[in-house]
Every structure is written in structure tokens, then in C-alpha cells.
Amino acid sequence: MAQLTALKGKKSTKKKARARRHIKGAMAAPLDSLSHCKDYFHIEVDPKECVNITKTYIKKTYDKKTSQYILKNEDHHFRFSFIAGYIHWLNEGKEKHQETQDWIDKKFNELADKGKTIVQEVKKELSKKNVHIPNIQERIQEVSNNLIGELEGVVDDFYDNPTTFKFDAVKWFRANGVNQAHSKNIRKFYEPIANEYTQLQKPSREQCEQLREGYSHLDKKTIKKTYDFFNGIVGACDLILQESKANRKTRTPKPRSAEKQIQKLKYCKSDERWKIASINPTEIIDATEVWVFNTKNRKIGKYIAEEHSTIKVKGTTLQFFDENTSVQKTLRKPLEQLKDFNNSGKVQLRKFLSKITTTETKLNGRFNNDTVILKAVR
């Protein structure tokens, strides 16, 4: 019984020994001396673990702001194994080594200064990104306000001597590069006062009493001169606006490609019963004649383009065909007649419909899944 107890004790000792041998990283560092601890960290401890130990120490040792500054630096500043080894030495309750401690403190203070600069540069970049960039309307308004400011100087000069002051608003506008966008804003600013002086030009009985009283200190001659002055500015605005409309380029719509025009076009690609197949529908675009056959009602038709135009497609409908001359007729013997059609040249096709004796009806331009496109002539 004593031997069995002894054997169990031995097994327990071996297991514990194996467990100790499997400990790796910082936890297995020797603590008999600081130099042995540092050497172990240099050889055995992963750089990532060194970084984590150092960063944890910084967060615990320094205040929040200083920690943030230090940690703004790149990770390679925290990979020194001897720093992590020394921090581990302290964490295990060992005695502080003043020379090492002074070096580490100096290093982290340098990193704090460097990190502060990094934070300031980042803030500068963010402030640049958040700067308001005025849009085109704001830029126009800013230029308009500057022009109005200059005009207000002219207005002051006018009020100093309204009877003799001369001002050519159109000439001033052209000299100062006033365009139609500026004219709208300038007109909006001066139109109310121009309207007031326009009212004062009317007979007294038609004038607003308050307006008449407000300008009672002015004589008729001054009112007339002021009316001419402000309406001259408004008139110059109107002239610039009219000129811009006259000189505005007419927007020419971009022509749609043949592929886009026939994108939604419905048609029958081929028909086994009548032994016929459609041509490529893009050939319809800009054609002067288009021949079609309806597999359901056996009608063959010819679309003829309007004079000085060519045929186009919109959705499932042909456009710009002559509604009077574009006609269709029913084929009594479709197989034979369609064979003749395919063998006919340009001259023979001119008389093809006239040889068919069935009733003639007008085409409406609409295509569907029964429509075979036989031919397109350009």
C-alpha cells in the first residue's frame, strides 16, 4: 500500500514538471537577475508581446492625454525587448533599476512630444477638409454683392449732385464684366427703389399717400433725374439678360445609337411556317423603305420615309414614315409570294405590291411579336 502511494506521488511530480516546461513567452522569463530577464526577452519573447506589455505599462503610468500622445507613434517604437523585459521585472515586484528607468522615461517623453506633433498635424488636415467650399450660386452671389457695393458708391455720387450727375449704366456694366447671372441679382436689389420712383412719376391722385409724403422733400426735377438713374440701372440689367438669351447656344440633342433605338422593339426573328427570317433590326434606322410581313394575318407591307427624312424607331413603333404611302396587302399564297419577294431586285420590288390584287390598307407603324422585318432600303 505504501509502494502504491509512492508511485502515485512520482506520477504527480512528473506531470507538474512537464507543465512547467510548456510555459512560454514573458511568463517563463527568469527573475534571478535583471540582465537574465532582459536576455530572455531578447531571444524568446515575440515582438508583438513586447509591444503589448509596453503599451499596457504606458496606459497605467501616464495620464490619458500623455498616453494618447505616446501611443500615436508607430509600433516599432515599442518593440524594444529590453524595455518590455524591464517592465516585466517591475511587474513581478522586483527592484527598480534607476539608470534603465531614466532611459525609458526619457524615451517615452520624446515619443510624447512627437505624438503631440502628429495629433496637431492630423487636426490641421481635418480642418482643411472641413473648410466650406462655396458652390457656383454662392460664388455668383459674392461677385454680385461686390458689384452692388461698387454701384452703391456711384449712387452716393449721384445723390451728392443729382441734377448734373451723368452715368451710363450699360457702359459701366460692360466695363465691369457684368454677366446675366450678376444682372439678375443686381436687378433684384435695385428694382424696388426704381418702382418707387416710377410711382412718383404718376399723377398725384394715383400715387400712394405714404410714398408721396416720404418723398415730399424732393422737387419734380430731382425725382425725374432719380427715376432716370435707377431705371437706367434696371434697364442695363434687362439688356444684359436679353443679350445672353440671344447669344445662348441651342442645345442639340445627342443622336441615339441604332442599338438604343431598337432596344425595346418587338419583332419575330424567324418563322418556320413561312420559311422567312428577319434582318438585323438596326438596319431599319435611317432607312428610306422598310418591308415587313405579319405571320398572323399574312399581310406584307412597305413603310416609306417622309420626304427629306429617314425612318427611326421609338419603343415598338416606327417614326417619320409617310402615313399616306405606307401600305400593306394580304398574301393569298404566302409561301410562293414571299419566295418571289426574296428573289426580287430593286426594280421588281417597286411593282411588287401593285401586282397583289387584295385590298390595300394603311400601316400604323406598330411592331409586335408577329412582325418579320423582311428588308430595309437606304
8-38 confidence digits (pLDDT tens): 454 444 444 444 445 778 888 999 998 899 8
The overall average pLDDT reported for the chain is 87
Closest CA to 83 of 120, 51, 129: 51
List pLDDT tens digits, range 123-132.
888 777 667 7
Are 141 and 125 found together in one domain? Answer: no
Are 235 and 264 found together in one domain? Answer: no
More confident residue, 14 or 150: 150
Last residue of a domain, one of 86, 106, 129: 129
Are 12 and 125 found together in one domain? Answer: yes
- The separation between CA 37 and the C-alpha centre of its own chain, rounded to angstroms, equals 60
More confident residue, 2 or 168: 168
The answer to the question of residue 202 being in a domain is yes
How many domains, in total, are found in the chain?
Answer: 3
Helices 180-200/136-160 angle, 10° precision: 40
List pLDDT tens digits, range 174-203.
999 999 999 999 999 999 989 988 888 888
The answer to the question of residue 1 being in a domain is no
Are 14 and 89 found together in one domain? Answer: yes
Last residue of a domain, one of 102, 129, 156: 129
Torsion, Cα of 139, 145, 148, 153 (10° steps): -130
More confident residue, 38 or 212: 38
The answer to the question of residue 321 being in a domain is yes
Are 170 and 197 found together in one domain? Answer: yes
Is the pLDDT at 223 greater than 70? The verdict is: yes
> What is the pLDDT confidence band of residue 100, given thresholds at 50, 70 and 90?
confident
Average pLDDT value for residue range 319-327: 93
pLDDT of residue 18: 42
User: Helix, strand, or coil here: 11?
Assistant: helix
Count Cβ atoms within 10 A of the Cβ of residue 54 and give its class: 0-12 exposed, 13-18 middle, 19 or more buried: buried
Are 114 and 146 found together in one domain? Answer: no
Is the pLDDT at 347 greater than 70? The verdict is: yes
pLDDT of residue 130: 66
The answer to the question of residue 2 being in a domain is no
Note down the domain range covering 284: 258-377
Are 339 and 359 found together in one domain? Answer: yes
pLDDT of residue 82: 84
Average pLDDT value for residue range 43-56: 89
The answer to the question of residue 178 being in a domain is yes
Are 217 and 273 found together in one domain? Answer: no
> What is the pLDDT confidence band of residue 133, given thresholds at 50, 70 and 90?
confident
Are 119 and 150 found together in one domain? Answer: no
The answer to the question of residue 170 being in a domain is yes
pLDDT of residue 346: 85
DSSP for 314-352 reads ETTEEESB-TTT-EEEE-SSHHHHHHHHHH--HHHHHTH
More confident residue, 211 or 234: 234
Are 264 and 371 found together in one domain? Answer: yes
- pTM exceeds cut of 0.75: no
Are 47 and 80 found together in one domain? Answer: yes
More confident residue, 134 or 293: 293
Last residue of a domain, one of 187, 212, 246: 246
Q: In the chain, at which residue ranges do the beta strands (DSSP E only) sit?
A: 270-271, 276-277, 289-294, 299-304, 312-314, 317-319, 327-330, 361-362, 371-377
The answer to the question of residue 343 being in a domain is yes
The answer to the question of residue 3 being in a domain is no
Q: Among 213-217, 277-281, 290-294, where is mean pLDDT lowest? A: 213-217
pLDDT of residue 11: 46
Are 85 and 176 found together in one domain? Answer: no
pLDDT of residue 22: 59
Q: Among 300-309, 326-335, 344-353, where is mean pLDDT lowest? A: 344-353
Is the pLDDT at 1 greater than 80? The verdict is: no
- The separation between CA 322 and the C-alpha centre of its own chain, rounded to angstroms, equals 44
Torsion, Cα of 206, 212, 215, 219 (10° steps): 60
